[in-house]
């Protein structure tokens, strides 16, 4: 038995109460029924020369945060470690995290880039052979999708080209203006005792970060899960995570694409099976839920400094894996 880890993260997202409790008749009751179906996000990124794979783990709130790198071969060597062996090591490290709580886990695995068919087979086999109760969901993300979203410019008013056109009225003698304000203008003059200095100020007003607005978009078509120009391997369902990239309305929006590649067997949906209406609804519901999770992980990424808080909309675990992979591939 490993000793219990005691830690206190520097930053956590608020944990909302569960929307529902999955009660069921079971001779072996759950030790933590409120934590059943807890999500563990796993992200991995492989370098272009395939020598480094970096992985990060996180839950929905930042209570779990870990990053690890795996070397498949030294620089300049033609022989690399078998990819399946590395996947087994990643899976064992994942099990070491989830075995601390004897509950059913939802493992949401995401790769920065397309998920090849052999990778999909490896991950699904590892999940099926695991003695730990889990449901595996596999996704792929593109941090720089071929999509640009920009707001349209506001319409130009005709009077903007002829400012003097607004002054065609009969001139009237004007009252001399002074630079001082009358006390009555702010509600503190004689006759208004006890009134506030700014009566129009709402005491319930809140301060909102204009650049922190994030939207999730679910597409009616699927994006290709491949880099090939001649093959089409569509995902189950695709969407985008979008946020503002500036204070002005005409600034382009930051975009990241998210594609669902495999949905766990507990939902009776496998990759490539979209023949029934139930499976389509399950895929859409799952993608919407994951986009909501990723929105919170984007906030973690901003506060932990792994992404540009304005120009990027990347969840913490994805950004951490990609940055670690880029650093190791460039230095070692």
Its pTM stands at 0.79
* All structural domains of the chain with their residue ranges: 33-144+260-331
**Superfamily assignment of 33-144+260-331 in CATH?**
Ribonuclease H-like superfamily/Ribonuclease H (3.30.420.10)
Contact criterion met (CB below 8 Å) for 263 and 109: no
Residue 204 carries which DSSP code?
A: T
Contact criterion met (CB below 8 Å) for 107 and 127: yes
Residue 36 carries which DSSP code?
A: T
Name the 3-class secondary structure at 183.
Answer: helix
Contact criterion met (CB below 8 Å) for 316 and 305: no
Helix axes 83-98, 117-129, angle to 10 degrees: 40
Q: What ranges make up the beta strands (E) of the chain?
A: 38-46, 52-58, 65-71, 105-112, 134-142, 214-218, 237-244, 253-262
Q: What is the pLDDT along the chain (332 residues), one digit of tens a residue?
A: 344 556 678 888 888 877 776 666 667 766 666 677 889 999 999 999 999 999 999 999 999 999 999 999 988 887 889 999 999 999 999 999 999 888 889 999 999 999 999 999 999 999 999 988 899 999 999 999 988 777 665 566 666 555 555 554 555 555 555 555 444 444 444 555 555 555 566 777 777 777 788 899 999 999 999 888 888 889 999 999 999 887 777 788 899 999 999 998 653 344 444 444 448 899 999 999 999 999 999 999 999 999 998 899 999 999 999 999 999 999 88
Contact criterion met (CB below 8 Å) for 187 and 197: yes
């Amino acid at each position: 038995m490993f000793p219990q880890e005691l830690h206190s993260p520097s930053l956590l997202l608020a944990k909302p109460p569960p929307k529902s409790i999955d009660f069921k008749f079971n001779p072996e009751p759950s030790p933590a029924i409120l934590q059943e179906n807890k999500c563990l996000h796993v992200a991995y990124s492989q370098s272009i020369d395939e020598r480094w794979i970096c992985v990060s783990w996180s839950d929905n709130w930042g209570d779990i945060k870990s990053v690890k790198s795996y070397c498949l071969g030294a620089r300049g060597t033609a022989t690399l470690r078998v990819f399946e062996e590395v996947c087994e090591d990643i899976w064992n490290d994942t099990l070491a995290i989830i075995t601390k709580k004897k509950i059913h886990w939802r493992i949401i695995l995401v790769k920065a880039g397309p998920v090849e068919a052999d990778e999909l087979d490896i991950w699904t086999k590892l999940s099926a052979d695991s003695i730990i109760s889990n449901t595996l969901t596999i996704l792929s993300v593109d941090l720089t999708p071929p999509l640009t979203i920009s707001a349209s410019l506001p319409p130009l008013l005709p009077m903007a080209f002829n400012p003097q056109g607004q002054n065609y009225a009969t001139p009237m003698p004007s009252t001399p203006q002074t630079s001082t304000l009358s006390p009555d203008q702010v509600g503190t003059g004689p006759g208004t005792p006890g009134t506030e200095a700014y009566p129009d100020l709402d005491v319930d007003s809140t301060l909102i970060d204009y650049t922190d607005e994030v939207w999730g978009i679910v597409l009616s078509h699927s994006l290709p899960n491949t880099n090939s120009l001649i093959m089409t391997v569509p995902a189950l369902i695709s969407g985008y995570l979008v946020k503002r990239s500036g204070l002005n309305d005409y600034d382009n929006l930051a975009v990241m694409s998210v594609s669902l590649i495999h949905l766990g067997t507990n939902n009776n949906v496998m990759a490539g099976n979209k023949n029934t209406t139930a499976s389509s609804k399950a895929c859409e519901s799952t993608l919407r839920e994951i986009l909501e999770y990723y929105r919170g992980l984007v906030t973690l990424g901003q506060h932990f400094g792994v992404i540009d808080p304005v120009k990027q909309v990347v969840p913490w675990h994805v950004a951490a894996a990609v940055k670690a992979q880029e650093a190791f591939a460039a230095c070692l």
